[in-house]
Amino acid sequence: MPNTSEKIGPLRLQKKLGVGKLCEIWSANDTSAEAATRKKTWAVKFLVADAVGDRSQRKLLEHELRVSKSLSHPGIIRIDRFEVIDGIPLLVMELFDHPNLKTQLADTPDTLVKRVPRILTEAALAITHMHSRGWVHRDIKPDNLLASPEGQVKLIDMAIAVRKAGMLGRLLGGAATRSRGGLVQGSPLYMSPEQIRGRAVDARADIYSFGCTAFELLAGRPPFQSRTQTELLQMQLTDSAPSVESYNRSVPKAVVRLIRKMLTKNPAGRPSSMDEVVAQLRSFRTLERPSQA
């Protein structure tokens, strides 16, 4: 696959920004003639060699573009176009050259502390916008939130976003939450119980995942951990989440209560919308994640 000295058509790759099992993301310079009238530096997300011929993965990229085109928010990464260049399906996206929160938690946790209030609020506003346009992200997690040193946030990776469940979705038993192969999609560390069960999802599924993310930012670890995926999914389904206060005694009581409510197993017990979450987050002046007591 391409390296930093190579090009994909007119796109000269510069720096690897992220890597997954099936995709890589690089910053790239656009050397085409058209670049004179548009941005020259982008982020490029392309399929790795083993996935280039996988039509389902190409469709995910095309779907991600469609979702992006329906959104318009400063906290959500903008996708410019889908192309197939030299046989490689790819997305050309807005470049926001900052690490994701998972990386920052591992590498620079102390510098993250003061930015947590802004990060959580901005992330919640981005998710609120997605919901207002009728989408459920279904993969809210620290890995999918980029953050600048000042706390500006960009939500990324909308490949498995689905339309919010309405009456039809409920009658169909949640078919919209499943992939074409019949497997439930998402990240086990952050998935809501209803998503794990393959049921129709609405905004409250993202609220649960956002609760897991907020817990990790403040506690330094996800609410549930296990050596096996099967056990982890069972914990998400049945185990009560620990209190974030057990890992960080400096978290305000109101924040502790909010996270506990977001992590309620029954969607009816969670905040009814991200608007409610945003309103509560804005009422908190400080959020901290110092060393464990």
pLDDT above 60 (res 112): yes
Helix (H/G/I), strand (E/B), else coil: 86: coil
Q: How confident is the model at residue 110 (pLDDT cuts 50, 70, 90)?
A: confident
Please name which of 175, 181, 144 lies closest in space to residue 159, comparing C-alpha atoms: 144
What pLDDT was estimated at residue 175?
A: 35
What pLDDT was estimated at residue 174?
A: 38
What pLDDT was estimated at residue 168?
A: 35
pLDDT above 80 (res 195): yes
Q: How confident is the model at residue 283 (pLDDT cuts 50, 70, 90)?
A: confident
What pLDDT was estimated at residue 34?
A: 81
Which letter does DSSP use for residue 76 in this model? B
pLDDT above 80 (res 35): no
**Cβ neighbours for 143, distance < 8 A, ≥ 6 positions apart:** 100, 101, 102, 187
What pLDDT was estimated at residue 32?
A: 87
How many CA atoms lie less than 13 Å away from 105 in the CB half-sphere? 21
What pLDDT was estimated at residue 20?
A: 86
Kindly report which listed range (11-15, 33-37, 241-245) carries the lowest average pLDDT score. Answer: 33-37
Q: How confident is the model over 149-174, as a mean pLDDT?
A: 74
Using the structure block, give the residue that is written with the tokens 């919640």.
124
- CA–CA distance, 218 with 260 (Å, rounded to integer): 13
What pLDDT was estimated at residue 271?
A: 97
Helix crossing, 116-132 with 274-281: angle to 10°?
Answer: 160
What pLDDT was estimated at residue 38?
A: 74
Q: How confident is the model at residue 180 (pLDDT cuts 50, 70, 90)?
A: very low
Burial of 102 (0-12, 13-18, 19+ CB in 10 A): middle
With a pLDDT cut of 90, the percent of the chain lying above it is 78
Q: Contact 136/177 with Cβ under 8 angstroms?
A: no
pLDDT above 50 (res 293): no
The whole-chain average pLDDT of the chain stands at: 89
pLDDT above 70 (res 289): no
CA-CA-CA-CA dihedral for 98, 60, 75, 141, to nearest 10: -70
Domains within the chain, CATH numbers bracketed: 7-93 (3.30.200.20), 101-281 (1.10.510.10)
- CA–CA distance, 277 with 258 (Å, rounded to integer): 8
Q: How confident is the model over 3-10, as a mean pLDDT?
A: 76
Q: What is the pTM of this model?
A: 0.90
pLDDT tens digits, residue range 38-48? 778 999 999 99
pLDDT above 50 (res 4): no
Token couple for 207: 């609220």
Q: How confident is the model over 181-189, as a mean pLDDT?
A: 75
pLDDT above 80 (res 263): yes
pLDDT above 60 (res 71): yes
Q: Supply the DSSP string of 143-190, one letter for each residue.
A: GGEEE-TT--EEE---TT-EEPP-HHHHHTTSGGGB-TTS-B-S-TTT
